[in-house]
Chains A and B, each alone.
Chain A
Amino acid sequence: MSSNVRDYAAEVYLYGVVPAQTELPSDLQGVQAQPVHLVEHGRVAMLASEVDQDQELGTPDDLLAHTKTLDEVASHSPVLPLAFGTVLPDAQAVADDVLVPGEEAYHSAIQNVTGHAQYTLTVTFDRETLLREIVQEVPEAEQLRATIAGTTEDETRPQRIQLGELMVKALEQRQPEAAAPVLERLNQVTDDLTEHERRQPDDVTEVAALVASHQTEAFEEAVEDLAREYHPRCKFRLVGPQAPYDFVPEV
């Protein structure tokens, strides 16, 4: 199948770099529901599919297909994910402009992720539990709550902003203490951890973990144990195994 790819005169969409001769799942469907092929060069190969000019590219379905393709390949073989949305003019350019100059760097980066999978763990405060806790611990919060009770937003806007700020700050104060034991525990059962930026005041932490296959069981147990221990204050959501999106080198 991979030999046909070089005949592509059309634009090609790229997913990620794998070792040469990687066997792909037979029904691998990429963006625009196109079949995914390999473009090979030396010890590395690119996962690619032809772009259909008549279809829109870059839809949410395409983003899901991009991810699904990489995650499926990653469950059988090491892969270096490319950022979503990379398009080259034709298959020849994939070889000449990407694989030829990058072969060495890609080959060694692939060694780093071989036998590993990424998991992404999101820990958030249970909002009601925490707000309740804060109101009970901080008299000023309880007073402001009493002030705004039964009023409209227009009537008590300054008090509302004051209360909200107080609650958000109280959550922020509690966040490091809640995140630290999670990170410490995960460090023991992973090869690498990357903490993502927090987005909401009730986010405790979001971490991408690079987990070696021999660590998988210990990692999953650690997450289970943490979730049990911090229930009901914190909620745990685990996505994976995934392709190592957070652990590609700067090439």
Chain B
Amino acid sequence: MSTGTMQRSRGSYVDRPSSSSLADVVEIILDKGLVIDAYIRVSLVGIEVLTIDARIVIASVDTYLRFAEATNRLDLAAQGGRDLPDLMSGMAEGGAEGKSKGAVEGVKEALTSGDDDDDEEEQPKRRTRQSSKSE
């Protein structure tokens, strides 16, 4: 199935990961599925905090401050905004959303010796983007 999903990624506006990342799995899949009553549910070790973080309350002071800061950093002179991807990604990392993703990555790296499937599969994608830009 991963080979089928890779083919469309070029020239597409849809981000299609070739395999589910840990962040996808935690956000999309954890808590889903049939529950067999009366038996042990082993809980996820290590990233319980993340699953709570991922469900941040939209109406909270932290969220407001984060969006105020994002608004503060807008460069309105740069119309279209396409010139600022680096600034934006840096800002996202500073926010709570970025933190929770960072936490996943951190846990993942700590527990998977850093050379798991996700890393391998993300690299070719990056290369593709770079080469298509430079052409």
* CB of A50 closer than 8 Å to a CB of B: no
Contact B74 A160 (CB under 8 A): no
B8 touching A60, Cβ below 8 Å: no
Chain B residues near A238 (CB, 8 Å)? 14-16
Q: Which residue of A lies closest to B22 (CB)?
A: A60
Residues of B close to A141: CB separation below 8 A: 71
Q: Which of B20, B41, B47, B64 sits near A165, CB closer than 8 Å?
A: B64
Interface string of B20-44 (1 = CB under 8 A from A): 1010111111111111101111111
Q: A60-B44, A85-B43, A127-B88 in contact; A148/B74 too (CB < 8 A)?
A: no
Q: B6 — which chain A residues lie within 8 A by C-beta? A: none
Partner of B66 from the list A58, A84, A164, A223 (CB cut-off 8 Å) is A164
Number of cross-chain contacts by CB at 8 Å: 221
User: In the complex, which of the residues B12, B15, B43, B81 contacts A132, with contact meaning CB atoms closer than 8 Å?
Assistant: B81
Q: Which of A37-45, A178-186, A241-249 lies at the binding interface?
A: A241-249
Q: Is the CB of B47 within 8 A of A145?
A: no
Count, chain B residues at interface, CB 8 A? 66
Contact A164 B58 (CB under 8 A): no
Task: Provide the bound-state CA to CA distance between A138 and B29, in Å.
Answer: 38
Shortest CB–CB separation between residue A229 and chain B, in angstroms?
9
Residues A160-202 near B (CB distance < 8 A): 160-165, 167-168, 171-172, 196-201
**B15 x A128 contact (CB < 8 A):** no
Q: Mark A47-62, 1 if CB is under 8 A from B, else 0.
A: 0000000001111111
Query: Which single member of A159, A164, A224 contacts B13 (CB below 8 Å)?
Result: A224
Task: Check A228–B16 contact: CB distance below 8 A.
Answer: no
Q: Which of A58, A80, A201, A239 has the most CB of B within 10 A?
A: A239
Residues of A within 8 A of B26 (CB): 63
Asked if A210 is at the interface (CB within 8 A of a chain B CB), the reply is no
Distance between B105 CB and nearest chain A CB, rounded to angstroms: 11
The smallest C-beta distance from B88 to any residue of chain A, in angstroms, reads 5
Contact of A82 among B27, B33, B47, B71 (CB under 8 A): B33
- Cross-interface CB contact of A239 among B17, B39, B56, B82, cutoff 8 Å: B17
Structural contact, B36 and A237, CB atoms closer than 8 A: no
Q: Would you give the shortest CB distance from B7 to chain A, in whole angstroms?
A: 11
**Contacts A71-B1, A120-B28 known; A83 to B34 CB distance under 8 Å?**
yes
A68 interface residue per 8 A CB criterion: yes
Question: Can you list 7 A-B contacts with CB-CB less than 8 angstroms, sorted by A residue number?
Answer: A60-B104, A67-B25, A84-B30, A84-B44, A85-B41, A149-B72, A196-B28
